[in-house]
Structure 1
Amino acid sequence: MPPGINMGKDGGVMHNREERILLGHGSGGRLSHDLIKNIMLPAFANSALAELHDGARLAIGGTQLAFTTDSYVVKPRFFPGGDIGKLAVCGTVNDLAMCGARPLYLSAGFILEEGLPVAELKHIVASMRETALAAGVDIVTGDTKVVEKGAVDGIYINTAGIGIMLPRVDITAKRVKPGQDIIVSGPLGDHAVAVMSERHGLTLPERVISDCAPLNKLIEAMLAEVPQIAMLRDPTRGGLATTLNEIAADAGVGMILEESLMPVRPEVLAVCEILGFDPLYLANEGKVIAIVEKEYSEKVLTIMKQHEFSAAARIIGTVTNQAAGQVALRTTVGGLRLLDMLSGEQLPRIC
């Protein structure tokens, strides 16, 4: 019997409203989590997947590896500060780095729409090559498919990556404890606003560009000096607030952030105020959240401020033993605002 149709007691047919996928299921927020929890995890349950990190940590023949994959459907495919090719390499490199691994090899799968200009494809592939060189990784295998015009929007890219775990590190939410500091590497929301400006033809100051960047060399420098870092995450879909909610829930802790310390460019804040967006929920593609014991915070900040991608790093809050699983923002007037997980979709197809 087809889904959504039941037989009534008298033999008649009763139609139920069938659940369908919404754009919000790709937001990285609550709907995404429900999709993963209710469909993906029960189907694929295993110990590596259960960690729900940015990638899987695997032991193979005595070697500790990290493995990750991601797909990119950003619209438009070219935007201030990057393009879908640069984004695909950076996203996969960064996911491996957040696991505490040194990225080594990537794959690249392309789904191309009939009619895509070859010049655009060449530009995107060249961007991927340049970004891979900057990150110190090789793209070693891949696949290409072409579909009928209208079946996809120009080009979609899937990248997977493998890396080797760095020694002495254990990046996991289980090590997040009350009293630790929460550090973010720089201004929030730049990527989302850059993509949105190109999508809608908005004119923004030249310095508001996507923060899309490979962070693996920064992360490796941090972990070389401070292997005690408890947690690393890049606040992509769902932004800072959703990412911290995920960590707080997994660790069973609370978090308090300081509004006065939130790094958001005035131009980004102005766009958010006009269009009704909250920068704490906007996607970033070149930022890292680090959670570390207070005794190591200044050392971590010193390392980060010496790097081009994190010169504006700062402590923005602390982990607490109250309100487990919740994140709150102390406002500039002294009140507390609960930051819940993103419930819908602010900006679809942002990565």
Structure 2
Amino acid sequence: MDMKSTDEQTVLLGHGSGGQMMKRLIDDIFFEAFGSPELVVGNDAGVAELPATGRIALSTDSFVVTPQFFPGGDIGRLAVCGTVNDVATSGAHVRYLSCGFILEEGYPLDALRRIVTSMADTAREAGVRIITGDTKVVERGGVDGIYINTAGVGEVPAGVDLSGANCAPGDAIVISGTIGDHGIAVMSQREGLAFSTDIVSDAAPLNHLIAAVMDAAPHVRCFRDPTRGGIASTLNEFAAASRTVLEVEEQAVPVRPEVRGACEMLGYDVLQVANEGKMVAIVPADEAEAALAAMRSSRYGEHAAIIGTVCELACGTEPYVRVRTPWGSTRILDMLVGEQLPRIC
């Protein structure tokens, strides 16, 4: 039966049955788009080569964003970028992904094809292969259309040991570009907000940018992609792990004017808004300019900036993050409390 017949334009419960309908779904949509040699063999596990470095990095994440299509991306691109970036922050060479789909009965197959094609395109851009996966179908109302889980694996080169605990007084804080784009893009689409300039998601695979920084700044301390909770959560996590104080120069943080305006209108602190295509790096001061140049020479690092410094923690105090304002005063930057933008990724 042709997948495009009138009775198979949407996901049906039979597509999760393990029988012929599921096979057609897998062959005509997933295999067609992903097509890695390891996947099309059809085994329960994809078997692939990893150089014998002795260490691997493994990460998994689930994506439930609403709406599933938004300016600058979709849930499929988000799923690949999110896991690629999480694995890459360890300094690993990201190699392989798995993907699991939970589909709602009645979900349009054309939308599923569009999402899967987006995932395949993003995986090719990142230079990774999707080698195994899973599909489940639930009754109408069981999920909001489609949820995706991805897991990624890569090998960690010998001698690489990146961790927020490595941050040291005097280190520089570097961000790869403008912040808040993803969170505001999704919110504007969800709430029907109109701005004078289009705001689009920054979702992007950053493994190549990270590799460029590691080549230019071989003593880089750590990386982190500031997703939910924005750079506020990321910097507080670094401060706690290293028992230091992180100081941010507010004027140095790159923010698009339309994103800043939207945050002011909505009452958000842009430092707490989610990103999906930005990377924070902590590097020794004498390697900061090299790291900055490497980011700016990469595809997604045009607006990279040095935004602050790691400072020594005073005796008897707890780690924290402070922001130096344009007027010379400082304020404490706390982690986000609760959920500012639900279902943002």
TM-score of the superposition, structure 2-length normalised?
A: 0.83
* Structure 1 counterpart of 2:147, from 135, 138, 156: 156
* Structure 2 counterpart of 1:264, from 240, 243, 255: 255
* Residues matched between the structures, number: 293
Gaps of 5+ in 2: 1-49
1:174, distance to aligned residue in structure 2 (A): 2.1
User: Share of identical aligned residues, percent?
Assistant: 54
1:206, distance to aligned residue in structure 2 (A): 4.8
Q: Distance in 2 between matches of 1:126 and 1:320?
A: 45
Q: Distance in 1 between matches of 2:109 and 2:248?
A: 47
1:114, distance to aligned residue in structure 2 (A): 0.5
Q: What amino acid maps onto 1:138 in structure 2?
A: R
Q: Any residues of structure 2 matched to 1:115-194 within 5 Å, and which?
A: 115-194=106-185
The Cα offsets for residues 182-205 of structure 1, whole Å up to 9 and x where unpaired, read as 011111100000001110111235
Is 1:86 the counterpart of 2:86? The answer is no
Q: Which residue of 2 aligns with 1:109?
A: 100
**3-state SS, counterpart of residue 308 of structure 1:** coil
* Structure 1 counterpart of 2:200, from 196, 202, 209: 209
Q: Which residue of 1 aligns with 2:211?
A: 220
Q: Distance in 2 between matches of 1:310 and 1:198?
A: 25
**3-state SS, counterpart of residue 55 of structure 2:** strand
Is 1:73 the counterpart of 2:64? The answer is yes
Q: Which residue of 2 aligns with 1:350?
A: 344
The Cα offsets for residues 96-130 of structure 1, whole Å up to 9 and x where unpaired, read as 11011111000000000011000000000000000
Q: What amino acid maps onto 1:307 in structure 2?
A: S
- Contact 1:235-1:287 within 8 A present in 2 as well: yes
**3-state SS, counterpart of residue 132 of structure 1:** helix
Q: Distance in 2 between matches of 1:333 and 1:113?
A: 52
**3-state SS, counterpart of residue 295 of structure 1:** helix
**3-state SS, counterpart of residue 76 of structure 1:** coil
1:318, distance to aligned residue in structure 2 (A): 0.4
Q: State which drifts further: 210-219 or 321-330.
A: 321-330
Q: Distance in 2 between matches of 1:195 and 1:134?
A: 23
Q: Distance in 1 between matches of 2:318 and 2:223?
A: 19
* Structure 2 counterpart of 1:249, from 240, 253, 265: 240
Q: What amino acid maps onto 2:127 in structure 1?
A: G
Q: What amino acid maps onto 1:272 in structure 2?
A: C
Q: Distance in 1 between matches of 2:196 and 2:255?
A: 14
Gaps of 5+ in 1: 1-58
1:207, distance to aligned residue in structure 2 (A): 4.7
Is 1:329 the counterpart of 2:323? The answer is yes
TM-score of the superposition, structure 1-length normalised?
A: 0.81
Q: Which residue of 2 aligns with 1:20?
A: none
- Contact 1:255-1:320 within 8 A present in 2 as well: yes
Q: Distance in 2 between matches of 1:60 and 1:188?
A: 35
**3-state SS, counterpart of residue 151 of structure 2:** strand
Q: Distance in 1 between matches of 2:282 and 2:191?
A: 36
Q: State which drifts further: 200-209 or 290-299.
A: 200-209
Q: Which residue of 2 aligns with 1:96?
A: 87
The Cα offsets for residues 198-253 of structure 1, whole Å up to 9 and x where unpaired, read as 10111235552100000001111111232210010000000001111011101111
Q: Distance in 2 between matches of 1:206 and 1:117?
A: 31
Distance change >3 Å, CA 160–CA 205, structure 1 → 2: farther
What is the RMSD computed on CA atoms of the aligned residues? 1.5
Q: State which drifts further: 166-175 or 232-241.
A: 166-175
- Contact 1:169-1:227 within 8 A present in 2 as well: no
